[in-house]
Structure 1
Amino acid sequence: MAIDLTALRADFPALDHGLAFFDGPGGTQTPRPVAEAIAATLTAPLSNRGAVSTSELNAERAVAHFRSAYADLLNVPAAGVVHGRSATQLTYDFSRHLAKTWRPGDEIVLSRLDHDCNVRPWIQAAARAEVTVRWIEIDSKSTELDLDSYAEALTSRTRLVAVTAASNVLGTKPPVRRIADLAHECGALVYVDGVHYAAHDLVDVPAMGADLFVCSPYKFLGPHCGVLAAAPELLETIEPDKLLPSSNAVPERFEFGTLPYEMLAGATAAVDYLAAMDPSARGTRRERLAHSLGSLHEHEKALRARMEDGLRALGDAVVLHSQAADRTPTLLMTLEGRDAREAQQHLAARDVLAPAGSFYAYEPFAALQLTDPALRAGLAPYNSAGDVDRFLDGLAAFLG
């Protein structure tokens, strides 16, 4: 099991500019097959969906192929795949859909580990419905979720638990299945933000115990859009506000307006690219995804170890906040006595892109009293050992 990194990197035109990208958690670079799929869809005959003309059928195929690809990626039925502009937009939409059934006295449980995308929509929906918000806290030493606080937060009145599958700043991967099982014992739905997780691990929505799962293809080599996955049977029970003439079928009733067929084609191509990263992968697309993402995991694990060893060699000048035992190859750090934005600028002058900020992770930064801005370095499939060394050399020169 291995990725041919030289061949893979040749697929990314952005790398021709000599840049080392560590901003993947905010959005990855795009390989040629994804861009070509978008262009081919836009320039072929294309109309609104229908069953008569070539252009209508092209639109239908773009939608069908998209749903099939994300069914394979997420292990859900194609009829349970919903397109959205972003994970934030989908979460806002579904917070409104679900809150229609909430009543004063009901409760929801949120996580201090989460990106604000999986926090603020629920808080705002809860306020409108007069629903109580309870919290899963973070252990400040391990940066893991405190499951004792979760047990205390759950009650017979809990209607929803919203939790991340992986923190976009710390990389922490909480035990989502355990969290989901406890929520289901209370009769609550589980909404999982998988935006960061899906960029690094093979997703299995049913095995995870998620009732609703969101991810963003542009975090794993695709175009800018969002995907929500759920069992079609669950989606049938959720009633959105919609235009009267628009379809009431699942999943179409959750997709408002004409779909961006070219984005769907690009998102499909991203899944196919992931499945082909390891040339030795064989079998169904789901099997090839499992094989290739397993190889990606080994590649990223080796690079993360190289980066962590290099950061430790810099001594107390670097405080690494990513400490969870199970986490993604994303490292959040602060620099003793130094401004992380100045470090970002210093690295950028060396063509090394590692952003500074809080990255919409309002709750983790507040709970852990992290310095804003902090420096984040996240790995993506196209990163190399040379990239890591350039980052470490640049940071050492800045701290020098």
Structure 2
Amino acid sequence: MTILRHYDVQALRSRIPALKAGSAHFDGAGGTQIPDLVIDAIAHALSSPLANRGTVTAGQRNAEAIVVEARRAMADFLGADPAGIVFGRSTTQLVFDFARTVSDGWKPGDEVVVTRLDHEANIRPWVTAAARTGALVRWADFDPVTGELTPDHVRAAVSERTRLVAVTAASNLIGTRPDVPRIAEVAHAAGALVFVDAAHYSAHAGVDVEALGADFAVCSAYKFLGPHVGVLAARPDLLRGLRPDKLLAAIDDVPERFELGILPYGVLAGLRATVEFFAGLGTLREGTRRDRLLSGMAAVEGHEDALRARLEGGLAVLDGVIVHSRAARRAPTLLLTVAGHDARDVSDFLAARGVDAGHGSFYAVEASRRLGLGDHGGLRVSLAPYSSADDVDRLLEGLSDYLHLTR
């Protein structure tokens, strides 16, 4: 397995087969393209003997090794304990599952705090759990002008009755990166748990669940060059205190008690390869995998931030283009609207030119409404580790041509 040992976007792009089709991808927030070594790892796992996990047959041993190594890899990726790594079909599925379990002891008078900045996946499961238990939902607002969600916004919603605060580490719609550690301090001071949606954040910056103050953190690998699988990280002792619904004969150990049925071995083999890929993107050649991952993610963040600055500079001179991503700290994801034009028309125009940027609210309905964009949202432009300066220039040229032709 050959891993890139320094950040070189052209070398990185050469490892992603889908990019050979020629499109400029600005849809990373909705899912990224996959490196060849991840594809190869999946194929290798599925072409080798496999069985239910065990230690006797070759198939059992292969399955066991794949799961164990995938847990270790994601523990390194998230700065967590392997015994606290839970796999699921998606972030949405994991939040719904844990919302049911975590809220099992809630009662009327208890409260849960959700934010208007979040993706529906970290709102609706908690709203549903509150409705089932009689708990009250309290909303933390954000500033629609600046896009900022501050600890004070959350403090205004928290009380001594708050059982849990659900908050995003980065908005999938406008990129805002709230000060989650300080928000966690507010929640913990009230005796509440903190559930962090790191799905968008984990694609653009190194994650440390302890530093975030997260009791639970979730992400989806397809956001960061991996296969479709959701991952949750939590302290093992916290997981041991939770009793999810499960089959009588299913393993009751942590973290397995939260994983229903047989895990997707091929996908988990690809997940480990994805982590190894990121560990090779930085300048650090030695040290632990966690150290190399942080170096790789720092390189990705620097590359994407430079491209974001190039993109924002180009957008600033386009008449009629409004950028709704304005927070001081944000992921490289911009929400745009064009005065007098439907975002769908702009998206379709760009797609015809091989520039992929989606339109809508992208399940961040509350955020879109708070911005005054209703349920329709806007044009979302999201950078990824393989985005290039040429991609950015193609997007800017496409937007300029659209404005000229529709003037």
Query: Normalised by the size of structure 2, how large is the TM-score?
Result: 0.96
Corresponding position: 1:98 with 2:102: yes
Q: How does 1:35-114 map to 2 (within 5 A)?
A: 35-114=39-118
User: Take 2:284 and 2:185, find their aligned partners in 1: how far apart are those partners?
Assistant: 36
Corresponding position: 1:218 with 2:218: no
The amino acid that maps onto 2:349 is: H
Alpha-carbon deviations, 1:375-395, whole Å to 9, x = none?
001000111000000000011
Q: How does 1:134-283 map to 2 (within 5 A)?
A: 134-278=138-282, 280-283=284-287
> Are the equivalent residues in 1 in contact too, given 2:176–2:327 (CA < 8 A)?
yes
> Are the equivalent residues in 1 in contact too, given 2:361–2:377 (CA < 8 A)?
yes
Q: CA deviation at 1:289?
A: 0.6
For the aligned residue pairs, the C-alpha RMSD in angstroms reads: 1.1
Corresponding position: 1:392 with 2:396: yes
| Among 339, 342, 351, the residue aligned to 1:339 | 342
2:366 is aligned to 363
Identity of aligned residues (%): 54
> Are the equivalent residues in 1 in contact too, given 2:139–2:157 (CA < 8 A)?
yes
User: Take 2:131 and 2:295, find their aligned partners in 1: how far apart are those partners?
Assistant: 44
The amino acid that maps onto 2:380 is: R
Corresponding position: 1:328 with 2:331: yes
User: Take 1:304 and 1:77, find their aligned partners in 2: how far apart are those partners?
Assistant: 33
Corresponding position: 1:116 with 2:155: no
> Are the equivalent residues in 2 in contact too, given 1:135–1:149 (CA < 8 A)?
no
Alpha-carbon deviations, 1:246-279, whole Å to 9, x = none?
0110000000001100111111111110111135
Alpha-carbon deviations, 1:45-77, whole Å to 9, x = none?
111111100110000001000000011011111
Q: CA deviation at 1:282?
A: 2.5
The amino acid that maps onto 1:374 is: G
The amino acid that maps onto 1:145 is: L
1:308 is aligned to 312
User: Take 2:350 and 2:371, find their aligned partners in 1: how far apart are those partners?
Assistant: 26
User: Take 1:146 and 1:76, find their aligned partners in 2: how far apart are those partners?
Assistant: 26
> Are the equivalent residues in 2 in contact too, given 1:339–1:373 (CA < 8 A)?
no
2:352 is aligned to 349
* Cα separation, partners in 2 of 1:2 and 1:62, compared to 1, 3 Å: closer
User: Take 1:10 and 1:241, find their aligned partners in 2: how far apart are those partners?
Assistant: 45
Gap regions ≥5 residues in structure 1: none
Alpha-carbon deviations, 1:20-58, whole Å to 9, x = none?
100000000000010001110011011111110011000
1:318 is aligned to 321
> Are the equivalent residues in 2 in contact too, given 1:171–1:327 (CA < 8 A)?
yes
| Over 3 Å off, 4+ runs | 146-149
The amino acid that maps onto 2:25 is: F
User: Take 1:191 and 1:170, find their aligned partners in 2: how far apart are those partners?
Assistant: 20
> Are the equivalent residues in 2 in contact too, given 1:107–1:134 (CA < 8 A)?
yes
Corresponding position: 1:294 with 2:298: yes
The amino acid that maps onto 2:393 is: D
User: Take 1:218 and 1:229, find their aligned partners in 2: how far apart are those partners?
Assistant: 17
User: Take 2:268 and 2:151, find their aligned partners in 1: how far apart are those partners?
Assistant: 38
Query: Normalised by the size of structure 1, how large is the TM-score?
Result: 0.98
> Are the equivalent residues in 1 in contact too, given 2:368–2:377 (CA < 8 A)?
no
Alpha-carbon deviations, 1:138-178, whole Å to 9, x = none?
11211111543422211111000000000001100001011
> Are the equivalent residues in 2 in contact too, given 1:80–1:250 (CA < 8 A)?
yes
User: Take 2:314 and 2:302, find their aligned partners in 1: how far apart are those partners?
Assistant: 19
User: Take 2:278 and 2:88, find their aligned partners in 1: how far apart are those partners?
Assistant: 21
Q: How does 1:9-48 map to 2 (within 5 A)?
A: 9-48=13-52
> Are the equivalent residues in 1 in contact too, given 2:150–2:183 (CA < 8 A)?
no
> Are the equivalent residues in 1 in contact too, given 2:130–2:137 (CA < 8 A)?
yes
Gap regions ≥5 residues in structure 2: none
User: Take 1:293 and 1:148, find their aligned partners in 2: how far apart are those partners?
Assistant: 29
User: Take 2:400 and 2:81, find their aligned partners in 1: how far apart are those partners?
Assistant: 49
Three-state SS of the structure 2 residue aligned to 1:313 is coil
User: Take 1:147 and 1:49, find their aligned partners in 2: how far apart are those partners?
Assistant: 44
User: Take 1:2 and 1:170, find their aligned partners in 2: how far apart are those partners?
Assistant: 29
Three-state SS of the structure 2 residue aligned to 1:191 is strand
Aligned length: 399
2:381 is aligned to 377
User: Take 1:140 and 1:98, find their aligned partners in 2: how far apart are those partners?
Assistant: 31
Deviates more, 1:229-238 or 1:269-278: 269-278
User: Take 1:29 and 1:368, find their aligned partners in 2: how far apart are those partners?
Assistant: 30
> Are the equivalent residues in 2 in contact too, given 1:334–1:340 (CA < 8 A)?
yes
> Are the equivalent residues in 2 in contact too, given 1:281–1:292 (CA < 8 A)?
no
Q: CA deviation at 1:2?
A: 5.3
